[in-house]
Amino acid sequence: MTRDDLRAAVAAGHLSEAQAASVMALAARRLEGRSALPAEDEPFELFKGFAEIFVTVGLFILIFGVFGMIWFAGGRAAFILLIPIAALLAEYFTRRRRMVLPSILLTLTLAGSVLASFLGIPIFGYASVLSDPSLSLALGVTAVALLVWFLRYRVPFSMFLVGLCVLGILLSAAKAVDPGIAPAQAVNLFDLSSGSMLGLAMLVFGALALAGGIWFDMRDPHRLGRQSASGFWLHVLAAPALVNTLALTFYHMGPGAGYALLTLALVAAAVLALVIDRRSFFTAGIGYMIFLSFYAFGDATNPRSWWLVLILIGLALTGLGAFWTELRGRVMRLLSDFPGKSRLPPFATE
């Protein structure tokens, strides 16, 4: 949108002159902010300074003290009363002060309060919670509450908790379909070849989280606002869900076709990471990459070969991190145009 578009909107009565001037000023600030960032930067922020850590510690003590006082007076009702308290605090620390770490703590307080309002506190461990028939309902209500919280306060970390709630619902549904799932064997059951529904649920969740992350990324390709930060938290969930599920499946297939497919899966994850400019996908597969390198180049009778493999992988990852922008530009130029390519983070066209 150009200045002429804004002037036309003012002339047509869609915007006032003050609103148009505010939009132009905002656009100028965003461009200046992006130009100040390094070309290969992938913004990530947990707190802006020690002041936020100090405030977060104070808020934690305050919330814990208020909860304790209400708990001894009203039992489970304490969780319900914590919800408006967290919202009241968020009005100041999130909407007015824009503090990152305190906002994350308040978001956790809200999610924990809503979830615990249904399930209570697991005194004898989490087995009773996992078998609670109201678990899926509690997770669903918590996810809705977090979405409402996100619409009000725009805390990117909310998307991470929403994703965890969706994952919990999918895994609960998988366990209901396949009641023979044993928690002690859960890791192996994420192998798709085992026939377990857990692996399929994890794969579906990874696809949903990836789609959500890309949707947020496309709304903020320059990664200046909270949209891209929200996408980051979804990518943190999507990467291990997709990469680990597929890689574990191919790993269990053994040498030959299994390891060949594992290699292809890691290459595909690396290319996807470059295309969407998110390093988390490649990071999720580092452990499998080390295993494959040991299998291909390691010598069980020569311990020095293990260290050599680690050195080579370390050099490869360091080089990839140092030249990520240049490599991404080449990959994007090689790819033909596809829907949404122009809405991904910019890349060098030459």
Q: Are 53 and 77 in contact (CB under 8 A)?
A: no
Number of folded domains that form the chain = 1
Residue with the larger pLDDT of the pair 152 and 16: 152
The answer to whether residue 118 sits within a structural domain is no
Distance between CA atoms of residues 288 and 295, nearest Å: 10
Which pLDDT tens digit goes with each residue over 306-338?
788 788 888 888 888 888 888 988 999 988 888
The answer to whether residue 253 sits within a structural domain is yes
CB contact set of 119 (below 8 Å; sequence gap of 6+): 129, 132, 134, 135, 138
Which pLDDT tens digit goes with each residue over 162-210?
999 999 999 888 877 766 665 545 556 567 877 778 888 889 999 999 9
Phi/psi region, residue 289 (left: phi>0; alpha: psi -120 to 50; beta: rest), is: alpha
pLDDT grade for 216, boundaries at 50, 70 and 90: very high
Distance of CA 249 to CAs 174, 199, 216, 288, Å?
Answer: 18, 9, 29, 12
Distance between CA atoms of residues 68 and 81, nearest Å: 12
Distance between CA atoms of residues 282 and 288, nearest Å: 11
Phi, psi values for residue 97, rounded to 5°: -90, -20
In the numeric block, which tokens belong to residue 14? 């869609």
Whole-number pLDDT of residue 117: 85
pLDDT grade for 243, boundaries at 50, 70 and 90: confident
Distance between CA atoms of residues 136 and 124, nearest Å: 20
The answer to whether residue 85 sits within a structural domain is no
- Whether 152 has a pLDDT exceeding 70, the answer reads yes
The answer to whether residue 197 sits within a structural domain is no
Distance between CA atoms of residues 334 and 328, nearest Å: 10
What Rg value do the Cα atoms of the chain yield, rounded? 24
The answer to whether residue 131 sits within a structural domain is no
The answer to whether residue 45 sits within a structural domain is no
CB contact set of 151 (below 8 Å; sequence gap of 6+): none
Phi, psi values for residue 335, rounded to 5°: -75, 135
CA 81 distance to own-chain centroid: 29
Supply the range of the domain harboring residue 311. Answer: 203-350
What average pLDDT does range 60-71 have in this prediction? Answer: 86
pLDDT mean across residues, the chain? 81
Which pLDDT tens digit goes with each residue over 4-61?
777 778 778 888 877 877 787 777 665 554 454 455 556 667 777 888 999 999 999 9
The answer to whether residue 70 sits within a structural domain is no
> Tokens 């949404």 identify what position?
340
- Whether 220 has a pLDDT exceeding 80, the answer reads yes
Distance between CA atoms of residues 116 and 138, nearest Å: 8
DSSP 302: B
- Helix-helix angle 226-252:257-276, to 10 degrees: 170
- Helix-helix angle 100-119:135-153, to 10 degrees: 150
Whole-number pLDDT of residue 289: 75
Judged on CB neighbours under 10 Å (0-12, 13-18, 19+), 154 is: middle
The answer to whether residue 226 sits within a structural domain is yes
